[in-house]
Structure 1
Amino acid sequence: MGEKRQAIYDATTLGKPKMAVLGLQHMFAMFGATILVPILVNGYFNGEGLSVQVTLFFAGLGTLLFHLCSKFKVPAFLGSSFAFLGGFATIANLNTGKYANMTYGEKLPYACGGIVVAGLLYLILALIFRLVGVKKVMHYLPPVVTGPIIICIGLSLAPSAIGNASANWILAIIAFLVVIIFNIWGKGMWKIIPILMGVVISYLVAVIFQAFGMTNADGSAIIDYAPIATAAWVGLPKFVIAKFDITAILVMAPIAIATMMEHVGDISAISATTSKNFIEDPGLNRTLLGDGLATALAGMFGGPANTTYGENTGVLELSKVYDPKVVRIAAVYAIIVSFIPKIADIIGTMPTAIIGGISFVLYGMISAIGVRNVVENKVDFTKSRNLIVAAVILVSGLGFTDGITFTIGSTSITLTSLAIAALLGIILNAILPGNDYNFGDNHKGDINRGVSFNNIEEENNEK
């Protein structure tokens, strides 16, 4: 039970049926958070906001585009970004100038136009990485910076897990226990699909609970079947063509500063999880390009901004199956489901308590990866500069729950807590004396980070 499982980098050795199931697990992992963004935005726009079907379509298509740009090497899934929610809310409430007499539905295309520009800003940073080189840029992103940022990514999601689980703690605990049981005591295929089994088994339990008259803590039904009855089996996503206006662009585009910093942290997390050098190969310039193009494409046709998903990084850590092909299968599933409103609504009936219970494992796993990042690299916390950098990142990433909002001209801009943490950490690490980290010099340490120049060479030297 205590032995370390072997990582699987080629899922074809498992067979196509198992790969299909693993892809399904990744789809379930991203589904709740991905569809939650359009649900929240619809609240801002009084029901005239983003479409769940469009969101799923561009999550799948954006993921495939990302894989194309990253040479099909990075096992990342791109789902809806929560960072832009504040921007959507701001544009929904605009009531001056040309927006004074607009309906909520008429404002939405301008918000999407801002998303397009935000995505294109990624291309500028990608070019910087391309021109300057990864080694010089990564000098300013040592483990003392990336480790705490990864920790914050997982812990910042913790309130979401608690909030969802609190809807029905019994159901959440069942989902959590099923995941743990299959992950620790499962054999063969069962051991690498704990998330999917947690979803399926706990959903069946929810059906039984409802049949016996049980309800959520607030008295509401555990499962709401009403949307399923009215949904069609086949239907095209309702695409919206983006429109452009400087006011909306100034609201949405600056948020890219935050999400680009989060992207670097996410790629570091995926690298550390899989022990692969994705920062060097295919390179941050390519991953940023893929993320930016996916976001711009989604915004152009009425979808939310995309971002690399920590939930799926958690699935990678649990399953130990690191083959990007499995994630691409999940992307294809998302596209297919986007054309089947009834299936989308069936999956959408997933009780939030189940999502919360499973998130206990996934979100915690992300933070654990950050801790491993720091420990395995032997970050010296006897140095005051390292303590200060890590402390500021952790306090900022967890303390600024509402971010920081400031006004430029008449435009209100919000930086999320993770963006603040990343920016402060990078700046402090750059200006405080004692930054002796040189990317690529210590192959062993970089392998532990998952960002070595030559993993194979160092592994061979150790044999």
Structure 2
Amino acid sequence: MNQKEVGIREIPSKGKWLVLSFQHLFAMFGATILVPFLVGLNPAVALVSSGLGTLAYLLITKGQIPAYLGSSFAFIAPIILAKSLGGMEAVMVGSFLAGLVYGGVAVLIKTLGIKWLLQILPPVVVGPVIIVIGLGLATTAIDMAMYIPGSDPKVYSLPHFSAALVTLGITIIAAVFLKGFLNLIPVLVGIIGGYLYAYSIGLIDFTPVQEASWLQVPDLMIPFVSYSPTFSWQIALIMVPIAVVTITEHIGDQMVLSKVVGKNFIAKPGLHRSILGDGVATIIASCLGGPPNTTYGENIGVLAITRVFSVFVVGGAALLAIAFGFVGKITALISTIPTPVMGGVSILLFGIIASSGLRMLIDNKVDLGKKRNLVISSVILVLGVGGATLQITDEFQVASMALATITGILLNLLIPGRDKDVQNTSIFKEDSQNQSKEPAA
């Protein structure tokens, strides 16, 4: 091992340990608080649930995978829809069900291997669904950027839009031109820069920060304590299908992480363990009132640039996130971030989500010249972006993103030719190569 690397089970010196953990905290902070900000959840609870979820993930993966888990962007639109239909209580039940799907998939992978999953969710299905996730949120980002928050009907505001554009510009500059660690936290840099500009034009009120106490218990939503959970097929069909997309993204993250660290995490401790850890983290979040969690590419980037792979450093970041969730001043400061600042960041982030779907198609050499692939991707895109819903009864409907995902899966299974496409999938080929080198756990 390179002498500059810190191994997975190594413990850095105390001072270095704290600094390195703060780096991971900063890397995930901007995106993790953005999700609850967009859907109306408590950012402090999101920090606490991400920290607890990460610790659970490290435990389930036997302390062998240095990954940090934060708020998932894929669930933003489903959360907003579920909230409109049944309130936050319904959102938490839906998140819990999505977490159970992870557990079921983990059991199947342990039993049957990975090929069956790629038969159901090849890139020709997952790529367009990810594009739908990004483009489906485009209107939300623009509304946040252009209009006075809470105005009905919508009222255009040049000062608000200028704050969004300044935030967007700073975020782009940070992502493209900054070097080293700062290049890994463009979202946080953009939010800070946009915040300062918004303050200069009078869009920020510090009264909540002045009135907040230093120590404060977040507004947790605990089932059977804060509310009585009830099952709903409608909410299940809104939230659960997104889990199949994030699971596929999870597999990609594990491949990237394996390359960065130089160990085959798919084989050991096993993909079943990492997916189970992701699911348990989401279940923990649903029991506290936080958004579903997922492994963060930002923190994988931190690992790549620092070459510090210690799970103790990642665990330290998780503990810091939990502590920050109980600092009332920090929670209040987050609440003062103007909506257009978050809107400006969202313009880029939601576009990146859509672009990552395109990248999946390109990386896996999905040939849209083939009628099979063209039909599947086209139907998914129009159903998802167009907002199609399947209204079965007044109380039961399948929302657009779920409908697009389910339709894509069915088309992939019914139209001939999928076996050859799966064999050509980069995830499957890499997994086969890795398993031939190292026995599965």
State TM-score, norm by structure 1: 0.72
- Find out whether 1:349 has 2:336 as its counterpart: yes
Query: Using a 3 Å threshold, how does the CA distance of structure 1 residues 110 and 384 change in structure 2: closer, same or farther?
Result: closer
Question: Using the alignment, how far apart are the partners of 1:315 and 1:356 within structure 2?
Answer: 23
**Count of residues in Structure 1 that have an aligned counterpart in Structure 2:** 401
Q: 1:225 aligned to 2:227?
A: no
Aligned to 1:25: 27
Q: What are the superposed Cα offsets for residues 255-291 of structure 1, whole Å, 9 maximum, x if unpaired?
A: 4532322323432553576685877766653344223
State the alpha-carbon separation in 2 of the partners of residues 121 and 201 from structure 1. Answer: 39
**Counterpart residue number, 1:197:** 189
Structure 2 gap segments, 5+ residues each? 148-159
1:145 maps to 2:125? yes
Deviation, structure 1 residue 432: 0.3
Alignment of 1:162-311 (within 5 A): 162-167=142-147, 168-210=160-202, 222-243=203-224, 247-248=230-231, 250=233, 252-267=235-250, 270=253, 285-300=272-287, 302-308=288-294
SS in 1 for 2:345: helix
2:342 aligned with 1:340:
no
The counterpart of 1:62, out of the listed 39, 49, 53, is 53
Specify the alignment match of 1:454 in structure 2. Answer: 433
Residue 429 (structure 1) shift:
0.9
Instruction: Give the RMSD, CA atoms, in angstroms.
Output: 3.8
Partner of 2:352: 365
Among 96, 109, 119, the residue aligned to 1:129? 109
How far has the Cα of 1:231 moved from its partner? 1.4
- Please identify, of 151-160 and 264-273, the stretch whose mean Cα deviation from structure 2 is larger: 264-273
Structure 1: runs of 5+ lacking an equivalent: 1-7, 40-50, 93-107, 211-221, 459-463
Shift of 1:315: 7.9
Deviation at 1:396, TM superposition (A): 2.0
1:273, 1:369 within 8 Å by CA — same for their partners in 2? Answer: no
1:52, distance to aligned residue in structure 2 (A) = 4.8
Residues in 1 aligned to 2:95 and 2:291: alpha-carbon distance in whole angstroms: 6
Q: CA deviation at 1:89?
A: 4.1
Task: Report the AA paired with residue 379 of structure 1.
Answer: V
Tell me which residue corresponds to 1:158.
138
Separation in 2 of the partners of 1:284 and 1:347?
A: 35
Q: Distance in 1 between matches of 2:51 and 2:135?
A: 26
Paired AA for residue 223 in structure 1? I
What is the SS of the residue equivalent to 1:223?
coil
Call closer, same or farther: CA 1:21–1:165 in 2, change over 3 Å: farther
Aligned runs of 1:79-158 on 2, under 5 Å?
A: 79=71, 81-82=75-76, 83-91=78-86, 112=92, 116=96, 119-158=99-138
Q: Does 1:382 align with 2:362?
A: no
1:278 and 1:284 in contact (8 A); partners too: yes
Query: Partner of 1:78: helix, strand, or coil?
Result: strand
1:58: Cα distance to partner?
1.6
SS in 2 for 1:454: helix
- Equivalent residue, structure 2, for 1:419: 402
What secondary structure, in the 3-state scheme, does the structure 2 residue paired with 1:308 have?
A: strand
Residue identity (%):
32
1:428 paired with 2:419, answer no
**Is contact 1:38–1:55 with CA below 8 Å preserved after alignment?**
no
Q: Which amino acid aligns with 1:37?
A: V
Residues 238 and 161 of structure 1: CA distance in aligned 2, closer, same or farther (over 3 Å): closer
Render the CA deviation track for 1:367-391: whole Å, top value 9, x for unaligned: 2222222123222222111110111
CA contact under 8 A between 1:152 and 1:418: conserved in structure 2? Answer: yes
Q: 1:126/1:349 Cα in 2 relative to 1: closer, same or farther (>3 Å)?
A: same
SS across alignment from 1:264:
helix
CA–CA separation in structure 2 for the residues paired with 1:18 and 1:432: 50
What does the per-residue CA deviation read over 1:118-167, in whole Å, with 9 as the maximum and x for residues that have no partner?
53344233323332221122123222122222222322232222222224
